[in-house]
Amino acid sequence: MLLAIDTGNTNTLFAIHDGETWVVEWRIETNDARTADEYAVWLYHLMMMQGLKFSDINGCIISTVVPQALFHMRNLARRHLDVEPMIVGETGVELGAKVTLANPKEVGADRLVNAVGAHNKYEGPLILVDSGTATTFDIICGNGDFEGGIIAPGINLSLRALHDAAAKLPRIAIKKPDNVIGRGTVEAMQSGIFWGYIALIDGLIDKIKTEDNRNFTVIGTGGVASLFAGASKRIDHYDAHLTIDGLLQIWRMNTKENR
């Protein structure tokens, strides 16, 4: 079985693939001070609840945008799983596509993994909208090359900033409000956040298509992307597994193994 680990700025996703399908997924808050031993205890008990053991894992691939966390993730794989992890972005790990930017190293591993996953599943050219700590819009050409994109603040980051900067504004949950015009503070905030982000997403996609008139397919992914289902008029598909499918594709590409 393959263990895929995707460490984002907010959460870290652990997913196990048995060669045919993703059998289980878990998320934990990203904390670059959490040690390999702490991860091991947490993971051991979750796997045990699913009838799985560390010895079932014979491969591991890691993608991270938090460099400080990589040391602990690598040690988790080496010391507790007894496997040498494949690290996206390290020398020798092929992605099957290139980054056509002046400085390719500027592009985060998560965006590259998404590009690989999307190119393997959908016909290009593509616009990938990833709603996480940041909301990113990435342009993938028909042959899978990464051409650039847009980075905007994520929806949860904006919510936190609104609460932290305005003393009387409460923390609120993200939800689609019944009306655009809020009749109270919470409803007004929910409308501004939800419909504001729909306008951000659809507006930037329109701007991209105006600047580049190719026939793009638009894919939505990320932790809160499902909230926009049916609300955004520009997103064609929602794909919650885009990142881990990209990790699986990179693993198979580099090992020639179907697991």
Among all residues, which ones are annotated catalytic? 110
How many angstroms separate the CA atoms of 238 and 236, rounded? 7
Q: How far is CA 109 from the centre of its chain?
A: 10
Amino acid at 138: D
How many angstroms separate the CA atoms of 97 and 115, rounded? 9
User: What backbone phi and psi angles, to 5 degrees, belong to 55?
Assistant: -70, -15
Residue 152's nearest CA partner among 215, 116, 205, 89 is 205
Cα 70 to Cα 32, 74, 206, distances in angstroms: 8, 6, 37
Instruction: With residue 32 as reference, give the H or E element that holds it.
Output: none
Q: Could you give the angle at the alpha carbon of 80 between the alpha carbons of 252 and 242, nearest 5°? A: 35
Q: Which residues contact 189 (CB under 8 A, 6 or more apart)?
A: 162, 169, 170, 172, 182
